[in-house]
């Protein structure tokens, strides 16, 4: 058993904390939304019981602030991430805190994610943004709808491929998503569903198809690495260059071959899946809120005027502050990596009142944290004004946690925000968005969240739009 495993026995009832047994129904295909509903009924702290196993979920801002205390709590690899370890092992996302390769890879790869490094990735991000625009121009011309989450996934996969690994997935040249995406989604679904299995059932077919998918992902990773090995990496500043050749700043050794494979798979997945969902939700809210869309368009127009094909500079992206507010607001309502877990380093009292034993885990449910009273009377309302600098300064820092917390927080946050802010501004600068189906939001869960079946039709904007 890994050193960070939860206590195997049920936590038992704790005074004032509801225990909700979902064994009769199971978590279904939307476990995050199920816990959201449970919290709407039972409040922001609860224990979910499934087949006698307990998991504590919290969304209370004070408790989340306490869980952010790195002295007393650390990242927890819960059952779903244990399953992701079957194909990503000790890659950064799924490594145990005390696995030596976590700190080693973190130190080696951090420079690739400093804000300044985004300058290096900017040209690749723009190149892929243009692929998306070419594809959407063709759809607009033919009056064809575009599948928003599918195209955002094409865009983010090609971006992490090119920017991180100089590897071209060529997703816009395919009618169907790249097979990497299909296999990855199935592997994530398997990881999410496996902890909810009823004991005694036969899942050998699902496990065999998982192994086939994981094998295919490994094959893609090998292709990505083979395209570069043997070439001189000394000047390569991208992720793969650092993985293959950068020595650790203190101890001087490089990452080993097995760990490089785990990092490549980790970054190919973590580097595109969540950003794609965030872009899709942002476009969904813009399509539903014409006044907000107008403001984003105004911000892009102020930078790029009527130029049909603007050439955004790296510095332009920092000026798109309202666009960034829109993204934050979309991530507030639907943080696409919706839950993260922490465990107590020693026996402690969470928030001064909930006894936890060393190793015991608590999962933060970000979508409900992001709907707490601190967000005002109408937290379901999409309103980017919540992210003006003044509003942000007035709010407790731990009220907004779409990127996790502490030293295990998202390493790719700046990457995601740069990529998504630029693309969102380019798209609204160029197109009118038409909600041609009167889309009603359905959120699909595959460990991450995405709006399912969301399509738009587009027309080019004219100078008077």
User: Is 274 one of the annotated active-site residues of the chain?
Assistant: yes
* Closest CB 58 distance from ligand HEM, rounded Å: 14
**Would you give the DSSP letter of residue 246?**
P
C-beta separation of 181 from 153 below 8 A: yes
How many chain residues bind ligand HEM (CB under 6 A)?
Answer: 26
412 forms part of the interface with ligand HEM (CB under 6 A): yes
- In 126-270 the beta strands, taken as DSSP E runs, fall at 146-147
Q: How many helices (H) and strands (E) are present in the chain, helices listed first?
A: 17, 13
3-state class (DSSP) for residue 333:
helix
Work out how close the CB of 15 gets to ligand HEM at its nearest, in angstroms, rounded to a whole number.
28
Query: Is residue 425 a contact residue for ligand HEM (CB under 6 A)?
Result: no
Shortest reach from residue 291's CB to ligand HEM, in Å: 24
Residue 187: active-site member: no
Q: Which of 4, 153, 159, 274 is catalytic?
A: 274
Residue 42: Cβ-neighbour burial (10 angstroms; 0-12, 13-18, 19+): middle
- Using alpha carbons, select from 366, 335, 369 the residue that is nearest to residue 450: 335
For ligand HEM, give the closer residue by CB, 139 or 411.
Answer: 411
Binding of residue 93 to ligand HEM (CB under 6 A): yes
In three-state form (DSSP H/G/I as H, E/B as E, the rest C), the secondary structure along 16-60 is: CECEEECCCCCCCCCHHHHHHHHHHHHCCEEEEEECCEEEEEECC
Residue 155 bridge partners (DSSP): none
Dihedral of alpha carbons 436, 128, 428, 389, sign: positive
Would you count residue 149 as binding ligand HEM (CB under 6 A)? no
CB of 263 vs ligand HEM, minimal distance in Å? 8
DSSP 8-state secondary structure symbol assigned to residue 254: P
Per CB under 6 A, the segment of 9-17, 50-58, 300-308, 410-418 that binds ligand HEM is 410-418
Helices marked H in 57-147 — which ranges? 61-67, 79-88, 100-109, 118-142
- The window from 44-52, 128-136, 292-300, 402-410 that contacts ligand HEM (CB under 6 A) reads 402-410
Contact positions with ligand HEM (CB under 6 A) in 254-283: 266-267, 270-271, 274-275, 278
Residue 137: other Cβ atoms inside 10 A: 14
- From the candidates 410, 421, 446, 454, give the one annotated as an active-site residue: 410
Q: Which of 157, 214, 362, 410 binds ligand HEM (CB under 6 A)?
A: 410
Binding residues vs ligand HEM (CB under 6 A): 75, 92-93, 106, 160, 266-267, 270-271, 274-275, 278, 335-337, 340, 402-404, 408-412, 415-416
Provide the annotated active-site residues: 274, 403, 410
């Amino acid at each position: 058993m890994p050193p960070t495993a939860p206590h195997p026995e049920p936590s038992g009832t704790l005074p004032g904390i509801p225990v909700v047994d979902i064994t009769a129904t199971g978590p279904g295909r939307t476990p995050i939304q199920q816990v959201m509903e449970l919290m709407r009924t039972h409040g922001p702290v609860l224990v979910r019981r499934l087949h006698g196993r307990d998991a504590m979920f919290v969304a209370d801002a004070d408790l989340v602030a306490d869980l952010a205390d790195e002295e007393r709590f650390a990242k927890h690899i819960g059952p779903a991430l244990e399953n992701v370890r079957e194909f990503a092992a000790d890659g950064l996302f799924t490594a145990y805190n005390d696995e030596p390769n976590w700190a080693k890879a973190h130190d080696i790869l951090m420079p690739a994610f400093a804000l300044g490094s985004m300058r290096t990735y900017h040209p690749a991000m723009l190149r892929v943004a243009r692929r998306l625009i070419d594809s959407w121009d063709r759809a607009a011309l033919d009056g064809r709808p575009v599948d928003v989450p599918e195209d955002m996934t094409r865009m983010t996969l090609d971006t992490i491929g090119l920017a991180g690994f100089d590897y071209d997935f060529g997703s816009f040249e395919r009618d169907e998503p790249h097979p990497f995406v299909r296999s990855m989604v199935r592997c994530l679904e398997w990881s999410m569903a496996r902890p909810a299995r009823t004991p005694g059932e036969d899942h050998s077919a699902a496990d065999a198809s998982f192994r086939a998918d994981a094998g295919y992902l490994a094959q893609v990773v090998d292709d990505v690495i083979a395209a570069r090995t043997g070439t001189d990496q000394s000047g390569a500043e991208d992720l793969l260059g650092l993985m293959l050749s950068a020595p650790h700043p203190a101890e001087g050794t490089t990452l080993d071959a097995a760990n490089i494979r785990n990092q490549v798979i980790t970054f190919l997945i973590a580097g595109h899946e969540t950003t794609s969902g965030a872009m899709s939700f942002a476009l969904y809210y813009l399509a539903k809120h014409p006044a907000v869309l107008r403001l984003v368009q105004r911000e892009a127009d102020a930078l790029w005027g009527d130029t049909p094909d603007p050439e955004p500079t790296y510095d332009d992206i920092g000026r798109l502050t309202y666009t960034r507010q829109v993204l934050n607001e979309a991530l507030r309502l639907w943080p696409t990596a919706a839950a993260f877990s922490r465990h107590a380093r020693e026996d402690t009292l969470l928030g001064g009142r909930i006894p936890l034993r060393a190793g015991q885990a608590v999962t933060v449910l970000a979508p409900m944290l992001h709907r707490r009273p601190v967000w005002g009377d109408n937290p379901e309302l999409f309103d980017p004004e919540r992210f003006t600098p003044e509003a942000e300064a007035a709010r407790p820092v731990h009220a907004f946690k779409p990127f996790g917390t502490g030293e295990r927080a998202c390493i790719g946050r700046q990457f995601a925000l740069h990529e998504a802010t630029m693309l969102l501004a380019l798209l609204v600068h160029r197109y009118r968005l038409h909600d041609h189906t009167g889309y009603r939001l359905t959120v699909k869960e595959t460990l991450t969240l995405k709006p399912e079946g969301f399509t738009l039709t587009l027309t080019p904007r004219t100078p008077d739009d």
